[in-house]
Amino acid sequence: MDKKTRDDLLKLFQSKLNEAMRLYLETCTRCGICIEACHAYASMGQVRYISAYRHEIVRRIYKKYFKGRGKIWPSVGEAKELSEMALDELYEAAYSCTGCRRCMMYCPFGIDTQMLMSIAKLLLIGGHAEPEVLMMLADTSVEKGKSLDIFKESFLAGIKKLEAEVVKKWRLEAGKKAIPVDVEGADLLYVALAGAHSIIPAAAVFNAAGENWTLSFFEAVNFGAFVGDPTKTKLILDRIINEAKRLKVKEVCICECGTAYRTMKQLSGKQPFEVSAITEAHARYLREGRITLDKSKFKKKPITYHDPCQIARNGGVIDEPRYILQHLTDDFREMSPDPRYNWCCGGGGGLVALGEETLDFRMKSAKVKVDQVQETGATILATACDNCHTQLSNLNDHYKMDVDVQFLSSLVADALVQK
């Protein structure tokens, strides 16, 4: 690696060194409490998947360039040179970590692996060594934000085709639009993913609840966050924030996508609207008596629920899905350990978006998740994140789990009682 590249990368490293990050980099006592916390280590037993081992790769570079001892006497300070080889190690550490933060729950100092891996991801971008697919997807989202007019018509035509399916799930009064789009003055802006599965059930439930809602032109997913590019993460978020302000909505409701929810909730700053996960909206409609669900739909089908890490452990939405499930079934089977210590599905952090490239690792590293699901004896495995749904479906096929993987919002839409 030439000097200029290294200097540029060190500037990127420096840009991440706020107080919290320095604390994470200087605090690890190597107590080993986090060893069993990572699903990848628990499933595969390889040292490189211990969370503290991942930190150490970043920490040694920090010691070499940002700590006095490392600069003067590198071998004693366990300092590591920033080189091509170090970038390879950073790639291995960052793209085998889903950012689930389970390890943080065990660390007595609350060291945040996801934050430390964000340094690794930024250095990879600076060294042009990030996964190209993720960067390409992030760039496409950013471009879409700049040129809404180009794709507006085809988007509206696609949405129109879905309306009949929405009406099949919830009959509407004549003249009412099944999927309203771009409605100024709506109370709620729903931000979906590309694909009918993210729009049809959600639309049916909004209509059943009598919500004054409108659909966003933009997709919720934030590939900037997956690839760890703070500038693109913000640009992708801003498209939605600007749309919400233009339409003067009171609430931005994010579809079943964990990263989209966490980034909008935690990074959008103070805005004139609330941010909710669709699970929160559905629980509210039930609480307020705006929708009623028919439990007989899932009779004799025990249901378990996989908490998406970015929505539950990292987003705090834990009670709402359980409240919904109480209205869906008399046979809800909670997984063990409980939601805050729930095993990650193994698909987060951009791993599912990388598809076949990560499939073998995703299957092997999530064996503990498979065991956790199977111990419940449930036949329906519900979740509220698209990424988790894909990963759980892959695990279902790979391990022949024989469960029906479902989105929680689909179960709600299928059980709606027409008044």
Q: In the complex, what is the shortest distance from the CB of residue 110 to ligand SF4, in angstroms, rounded to a whole number? A: 8
Give residues with Cβ within 8 angstroms of 26, minimum separation 6.
none
- Give the nearer residue to ligand SF4 in terms of CB position, either 155 or 343: 343
CB 347 to ligand SF4: min, Å:
11
Q: Which is nearer to ligand SF4, 55 or 80 (CB)?
A: 55
β-pairing, 188-191 vs 213-215, is parallel
Cβ distance to ligand SF4 smaller for residue 37 or 209: 37
Instruction: Name the nearest CA neighbour of 417 among 204, 198, 211.
Output: 204
Contacting positions for ligand SF4 (CB under 6 A):
28-34, 37-38, 40, 51-52, 54, 97-103, 106-107, 109, 111, 113-114, 344
DSSP bridge partners of 305? 382
Kindly state the smallest distance separating residue 58's Cβ from ligand SF4, in Å: 12
Which residue number, 37 or 86, has a Cβ lying nearer to ligand SF4?
Answer: 37
CB of 46 to ligand SF4, least distance (A): 12
Nearer to ligand SF4 (CB atom), residue 107 or residue 236: 107
Nearer to ligand SF4, 102 or 169 (CB): 102
User: How near is the Cβ of 342 to ligand SF4 at its closest, in Å?
Assistant: 11
Burial class (CB in 10 A: 0-12, 13-18, 19+), 289: exposed
Question: Which amino acid would we find at residue 193?
Answer: L
Q: How far is the CB of 40 from ligand SF4 (least distance, A)?
A: 6
